[in-house]
Amino acid sequence: MRSDGSVEPSTAPLRQVGETYVFSGNVNNTIEVQRSNVVLDGNGFTVTKPSVNTEGLMIPIGWLPGVRVAGISNVTVTDFVFDGCITGVTIENASNVVVSNNTIRRCSMGIVVFSSSKISIVGNNITFLARQFIFCPAALKQPAQTGSELKTTAS
């Protein structure tokens, strides 16, 4: 989603309703939010990261999250299923961001927050992570009080 509100590619499975972008299908790539004052509603659909075959080796396509929010403010990411991404949601240099009611499973890390303020992480179901539930150096003083539920972590 570009800063002017346009969506790339134009064939992406979502529709705009005012300042809310509602998904109508699964996504097999990172969603990068470049616009402030929006709601990104996954509508229960899944975001995954594909693997590619390079010279006979299966490797991740990159160290990219399901959703990336960077350099903007007043964004809500809600009602997605993030499955197999490096991170479900990454927030960088942003403020007033809400991550709510998402399912994050089989990711390396659930939610990553860097150099951001006023971040709310509420009502998420985060399971089977390889590393960490929420990684937020100095962004949140007590991430355990965010209101999301960690059910199981992988070893």
Decide if pLDDT at 44 tops 80.
Answer: yes
pLDDT score for 135:
66
pLDDT band, residue 33 (cuts 50/70/90): very high
* Average pLDDT of the segment spanning 149-154: 42
Dump pLDDT digits (tens) for 93-126: 999 999 999 999 888 888 888 888 888 888 888 8
Domain that holds residue 109: 14-49+62-138
- The structural domain count of the chain equals 1
Report how far apart, in Å, the C-alpha atoms of 54 and of each of 14, 57, 62, 85, 152 are. 31, 5, 13, 19, 32
Q: Which residue has the higher pLDDT, 89 or 149?
A: 89
Residue 75 lies in a domain: yes
Give helix then strand counts, H and E, for the chain.
Answer: 0, 18
Asked whether residue 25 is domain-assigned, the answer is: yes
Examine residue 89 and state whether it is found in any structural domain, yes or no.
yes
Average pLDDT, the chain: 81
**Is the pLDDT at 155 greater than 60, yes or no?**
no
In a domain, 153, yes or no: no
Note whether residue 74 is domain-resident: yes
pLDDT tens, residue by residue, 16-26: 999 999 999 99
How far is Cα 53 from Cα 46, in angstroms, rounded to an integer? 22
Residue 147 lies in a domain: no
Residue at 1 is within a domain: no
* Residue 155 within any structural domain of the chain: no
